[in-house]
Chains A and B, each alone.
Chain A
Amino acid sequence: GAGVSQSPSNKVTEKGKDVELRCDPISGHTALYWYRQSLGQGLEFLIYFQGNSAPDKSGLPSDRFSAERTGGSVSTLTIQRTQQEDSAVYLCASSSREKLFFGSGTQLSVL
């Protein structure tokens, strides 16, 4: 597609439920990133996929967070047993070299 696509755009869930957030990167981009942005805050790095290499998971805040990237394209970020502090905008970005292109994000609200 023309840009990075994320779905859903908004997700409201109850505390303790699992959620899956999806990212479709720009076709041909080898690198894919997930960031978290709390209200009015900066970008918190979560995880980075580059080609077929093992992902850099150093930013994942707990073992409730995981992500996978199938076929080097679509990625899914999964949050298990959601907590209220998980409420944030989750942004996905893809790149072919140094320039990151971001999706519009998924606004996650945990009640």
Chain B
Amino acid sequence: GQQLNQSPQSMFIQEGEDVSMNCTSSSIFNTWLWYKQDPGEGPVLLIALYKAGELTSNGRLTAQFGITRKDSFLNISASIPSDVGIYFCAGQIYSGGGADGLTFGKGTHLIIQP
């Protein structure tokens, strides 16, 4: 099956710094999704990307769907303490029947030092 390589595995940054993480795959995906998981909670969808080359922002978050459809990145600008958590990328081959074929990366642990 498909595999996603998400990096970095963890990040230790200072408050106010910008953050960048990415996912790559040997497979082509139709959709890329980015989720954030707070401690003790389930992952929450941040951004969904549907088209190669698409660049989408959600507040301080920006994500792009790679032109080759095999990669995606997520940037967070001016990090704040509540950005702490685990960020997951997910790639999907959407066949029209639902969210089948959804593959998750192993996550990026973001730790912010005040």
Contact = CB atoms under 8 A, between A and B. Distances in A.
Interface of A: 4, 30-31, 33, 40-43, 45, 48, 50, 56, 91, 93, 95-105
B93 to A, nearest CB: 10
A43 B98 contact: no
Contacts, number: 64
Contact of B99 (A41, A91, A98): A98
Contacts of A104: 40-42
Contacts of B99: 31, 33, 95, 97-100
Contacts of B51: none
Interface stretch (B12-20, B62-70, B74-82, B100-108): B100-108
Nearest to A42: B106
Contact of B43 (A31, A95, A97, A102): A102
14 contacts: A31-B99, A33-B99, A42-B88, A42-B105, A43-B107, A56-B100, A95-B98, A98-B48, A98-B94, A99-B45, A100-B45, A100-B102, A102-B35, A102-B44
How many residues of B sit at the interface, in one of the four size bands?
20 to 34
B106 A30 contact: no
Interface string B52-95: 00000000000000000000000000000000000010101010
B88 to A, nearest CB: 7
A7 to B, nearest CB: 13
